Amino acid sequence: MTGMSRARVARRIAAGAAYGGGGIGLVGAALVGLLLAEAQLARRQVQANGSSPYVPKADGLYGGGYATPGVEPLRLTLLGDSTAAGQGVHRAGQTPGALLASGLAAVAERPVELRNVAVPGAMSDDLDRQVALVLAGPRPVPDVCVIMVGANDVTNRMPPTRSVRHLAGAVRRLRTAGAEVVVGTCPDLGTIEPVQQPLRWLARRVSRQLAAAQTIGVVEQGGRTVSLGDLLGPEFAEHPRELFGPDSYHPSAEGYATAAMAVLPTVCAALGLWPAEEDRPDLSRREGFLPVARAAAEAASEAGTEVTAAMPTGPRGPWALLKRRRRRQVAAEHLDEHADTGSQAGA
């Protein structure tokens, strides 16, 4: 599917989500049925390989050495599915939440309080419950929320309009409460080893269509997105044994580090912690202002690409800034450092 075609489909899905439609499909029902059957086979293989819904609890304070009297820690909350929760690793410090909290603390030179309400197996309709949990009670509103969701929507055949509607609603509620929001869009399911050809191309197509539609919905509500699709694409395809965990389905510790370090620059930018010049488009990196649907389609095809609202109106509707921020790689030998940081969280 070309970028322009993906942009048109994404616009239709986002419009359906915004205006209550539910009949727009990603692909034909028969093909989606085949994908679902293949995904169910993959899930059974994952379970046979020993995957468990257990995830290490990484909630707590990171970067305590940066504490300053009278200065509150930054508050980071993760929502979403198993990718946000960190399923597939065994140490708290290897989860994406812990990695993001550690990285954010280092950039801000300020402690970060992490809370993770993500649930393995969750679909976008569970975000309603998760957001209510985040905003309930006496806890302060998070400074920034990171949402990773979408894969289970595809494998469970949730209508994409419904999927985007729930995600956009979650972003709207969090932004209204005062939190910045960064969404890691639907990963590329075509790279999961148990999913075989010829359905890999279909899984990739479906995943990227949903990711593009998610981007439109999120940006319209004042959030930012980062494409995770290609992080589970070329890099994972070239190094599946390093970046996938033992179940060949969820990322390994190195895989989560790759994803977390792609999201971290956008989290920092949302909080105003990145240098101002980094927010200007760099033409040498093919960055710039685009209609939001076109930006969404381009982002769905390239790892780590950020999309954020730029202008509310333009010749073809709202425009967005597409950024390809330089991400920091976390070497394998540094993973233990992050894991040790997790112990500060009491995990």
DSSP string, 224-275: EEE--GGGGTHHHHHSHHHHB-TTSSSB-HHHHHHHHHHHHHHHHHHTT-S-
The CA angle 136-137-138, to the nearest 5 degrees, is: 130
Q: How many CA atoms lie within 13 A of 163 on its CB side?
A: 34
Percent of residues in the chain assigned helix, strand, coil, to nearest 5: 50, 15, 35
Structure-token match 């982002």, residue found: 299
Q: Is the distance from CB of 124 to CB of 96 less than 8 angstroms?
A: no
Return d(Cα 96, Cα 116) in angstroms, integer. Answer: 10
Question: How many other CB atoms sit within 10 Å of the CB of residue 280?
Answer: 11
Helices 199-220, 3-19: inter-axial angle, 10-degree rounding? 50
User: DSSP strand E in the chain: where?
Assistant: 60-62, 74-80, 112-116, 144-148, 180-184, 224-226, 288-291, 306-311, 319-323
Helices 199-220, 292-300: inter-axial angle, 10-degree rounding? 140
- Active site members: 82, 247, 250
Structure-token match 């905003």, residue found: 135
Structure-token match 């381009």, residue found: 298
Handedness of CA 301, 37, 168, 326 (dihedral sign): negative
